[in-house]
Amino acid sequence: MSQKSDFGLIGLAVMGQNLVLNVESRGFQVSVFNRTTATTDEFIAKHPGKKLVGAKTLEEFVQSLATPRKIQIMVKSNAVKDSDRDAVDAVIEQLIPLLEKDDIVIDGGNSYYLTTERRDKYLAEKGLRFIGAGVSGGEEGARKGPSIMPGGPASTWEVMKPIFESISAKVDGEPCVIHIGTGGAGHYVKMIHNGIEYGDMQLICEAYNIFKNAGFTTDEIAKVFTDWNDGDMQSYLIQITGKALEQKDPETGTPIVELIVDKAGQKGTGQWTLLNAAENAVVISTINAAVEARILSSKKKARVAASKELTGPTVNITTDKAELVQKVHDALYASKVISYAQGLDLIKTMGEAKNWGLDLGRIASIWRGGCIIRARFLNKITDAYRENAELSNLMLAPFFKDLLSKTQQNWREVVSLATLNGIPVPAFSASLGYYDSYRAERLPANLLQAQRDFFGAHTYERTDKPEGEFFHTEWPEVIG
Ligand code: 6PG
């Protein structure tokens, strides 16, 4: 091909390949480079007749691109600490001497937002432009239209906008991509998206576990999720859960899910979310429970041993099946609202601290399509922030306030039913605990303050004295 390419991509793993095919299908010519040339050759050979250029060297790759060059890196990043350097840094180092002023480098992987900020600064010093873009949607999303969360200078976003908008998913004609904010804002928001993804997945698993313990067959549970996907809880994760539960193992005819070992993996974004929440003193107890549930699941040997030592009640659920389905529906829906309220609270807090000027309603709107957490109810979140951009907590928006009020009886019954039967529901109960704590006019922290003052003279405020005045009591000595 003699003409220069509009876009270049480095890293032909599954996500990279699918993104290339997506960009090409929108009318752009794409150059590709992979460290192992055989992968590039195979990829090009597999897609004849497409506007693709396979480069054997990085020099050839860079030369094949029209200026300002737009190069997306899709390699795995694992740097977290400031001093860490990973594969993304290695590619950037190799690119720098080959690039010209104003060329754009995009990191489309799940990079830690602080490394994105470091790279943004570093490339700016070299006269180059950098975008840290969260890309969600898995393989299928990458091919057909992902949700994209780009961060970096607004002027660089303007250059990338036509390509990003054309390759992203569309909902009601609107592209699922906006300029999130400067610096690491895009990767930050993608990280929280993943934390929320963890929460959604765990809540669904808790619902499944209750049904299983109540004697539902896997096919019956599959039907529950498939039905839910036609209602207010319609979402990609509910949909794939129904489909996954339906799937039979060709060898044995058993539902494949029942043959899968109950040890969950994780690549780190959930844990990063927890660390960030702790740093910002924001409660994300549902996501926390979800991450911890994965950790406990992975300790299979310890659990098997403990199952023989630690006792619990015998499961005895006699609730009518249809009634239980409705109750669990409500518990799941309410818990999901709490999880989003917490995740958005963290985004809001961090956005303010970093001065990113984040628009929560628009962020929710680009999660309506393409990404893993896409769901019908995200429209409601967008509406809530459109009505009140200053909303202090999602739970307080009229729609959600009403939803939590209507679902809470069933939510409480499900948490107590599970607890009485010894079925773990860490995310359902963490969500309910947050709801009850947040709405409590008075919490037992008065006693906590007394304890602190007792052993450490940390002082306390009084209900009958002006705020900001601190007191200390001479408590009795207890060490004889
Ligand atoms: C997405 C996903 C994706 C993520 C995996 C890994 O939005 O497309 O979040 O980016 O890499 O789902 O998550 P684990 O931590 O579960 O491996």
306, pLDDT greater than 70 = yes
2, pLDDT greater than 80 = no
Q: How confident is the model at residue 77 (pLDDT cuts 50, 70, 90)?
A: confident
473 occurs within a structural domain? yes
CATH code for the domain of 467: 1.20.5.320
* Ligand 1 centroid from CA 342, angstroms: 19
Looking at the structure of the chain, the number of domains it has is 3
Q: Residue 48, preceding bond cis, omega within 30 degrees?
A: no
CATH code for the domain of 24: 3.40.50.720
Residue 149 pairs in a beta bridge with 134
- In a shared domain, residues 321 and 470: no
- In a shared domain, residues 36 and 128: yes
- In a shared domain, residues 341 and 199: yes
371 C-beta closer than 6 A to ligand 1: yes
Cα–Cα distance, 224 to 242 (Å, whole number): 8
Task: State which ligand 1 atom lies nearest to the alpha carbon of 147.
Answer: 7
149 occurs within a structural domain? yes
* Ligand 1 centroid from CA 194, angstroms: 6
DSSP of 321-361: HHHHHHHHHHHHHHHHHHHHHHHHHHHHHHHHHHT----HH
pLDDT of 159: 98
Planar angle of CA 465, 469, 472, nearest 5 degrees: 95
Report the candidate in 370, 395, 372, 188 with the shortest Cα–Cα distance to residue 381: 395
Residues 6+ apart with CB under 8 A from 420: 313
80, pLDDT greater than 90 = no
69, pLDDT greater than 70 = yes
Q: How confident is the model at residue 480 (pLDDT cuts 50, 70, 90)?
A: confident
- In a shared domain, residues 427 and 453: no
Task: State which ligand 1 atom lies nearest to the alpha carbon of 197.
Answer: 9
- In a shared domain, residues 151 and 260: no
- In a shared domain, residues 367 and 480: no
* Ligand 1 centroid from CA 190, angstroms: 10
Residue ranges in 71-172 assigned as alpha helix (H): 87-95, 113-125, 138-144, 154-167
Q: Which residue among 160, 183, 206 closes a domain?
A: 183
Neighbours of 209 (CB within 10 A): 15
pLDDT of 424: 98
73 occurs within a structural domain? yes
- pLDDT (mean) for 237-264: 98
280, pLDDT greater than 70 = yes
pLDDT per residue as tens digits for the range 172-209:
999 999 999 999 999 999 999 999 999 999 999 999 99
Q: Which residue among 166, 183, 200 closes a domain?
A: 183
1 occurs within a structural domain? no
Helix-strand-coil split of the chain, %, nearest 5: 55, 10, 35
Q: Which residue among 183, 212, 236 closes a domain?
A: 183
- In a shared domain, residues 122 and 224: no
Q: Which residues form the catalytic set?
A: 190, 197
In the numeric block, the tokens 């008065």 are attached to: 446
218 occurs within a structural domain? yes
pLDDT per residue as tens digits for the range 362-403:
999 999 999 999 999 999 999 999 999 999 999 999 999 999
Which three-class secondary structure string do you get for 407-426? HHHHHHHHHHHHHHCCCCCH
- In a shared domain, residues 110 and 236: no
Residue nearest to ligand 1 atom 11, measured at CA? 110
> Domain containing 473: what range?
444-480
Q: H/E element holding 10?
A: strand 7-10
> In whole angstroms, how large is the CA radius of gyration of the chain?
25
pLDDT per residue as tens digits for the range 104-152:
999 999 999 999 999 999 999 999 999 999 999 999 999 999 999 999 9
pLDDT of 285: 98
Report the candidate in 290, 312, 289 with the shortest Cα–Cα distance to residue 420: 312
Planar angle of CA 89, 191, 231, nearest 5 degrees: 145
Of all residues in the chain, the percent with pLDDT exceeding 90 is: 98
Average pLDDT, the chain: 97
Residues 6+ apart with CB under 8 A from 352: none
Report the candidate in 278, 209, 282, 274 with the shortest Cα–Cα distance to residue 245: 209
Cα–Cα distance, 381 to 360 (Å, whole number): 9
- In a shared domain, residues 309 and 334: yes
CATH code for the domain of 228: 1.10.1040.10
439 C-beta closer than 6 A to ligand 1: no
- In a shared domain, residues 295 and 382: yes
- In a shared domain, residues 266 and 361: yes
82, pLDDT greater than 80 = no
337 occurs within a structural domain? yes
The predicted model scores a pTM of 0.96
* Ligand 1 centroid from CA 429, angstroms: 25
3-state class of 312 per DSSP?
Answer: coil
417, pLDDT greater than 80 = yes
2 occurs within a structural domain? no
81, pLDDT greater than 90 = no
Cα–Cα distance, 96 to 109 (Å, whole number): 19
249, pLDDT greater than 90 = yes
Residue nearest to ligand 1 atom 6, measured at CA? 267
Q: How confident is the model at residue 1 (pLDDT cuts 50, 70, 90)?
A: low
169, pLDDT greater than 80 = yes
- pLDDT (mean) for 62-72: 98
Report the candidate in 247, 236, 231 with the shortest Cα–Cα distance to residue 200: 236
Buried b or exposed e, range 175-202, using 16+ CB within 10 angstroms: bbbbbbbbbbbbbbbbbbbbbbbbbbbb
3-state class of 372 per DSSP?
Answer: coil
pLDDT of 78: 85
213 C-beta closer than 6 A to ligand 1: no
Task: State which ligand 1 atom lies nearest to the alpha carbon of 371.
Answer: 7
- In a shared domain, residues 179 and 274: no
pLDDT of 263: 98
DSSP of 12-43: -SHHHHHHHHHHHHTT--EEEE-SSHHHHHHH
Q: Pull the structure tokens for residue 343.
A: 């995740």
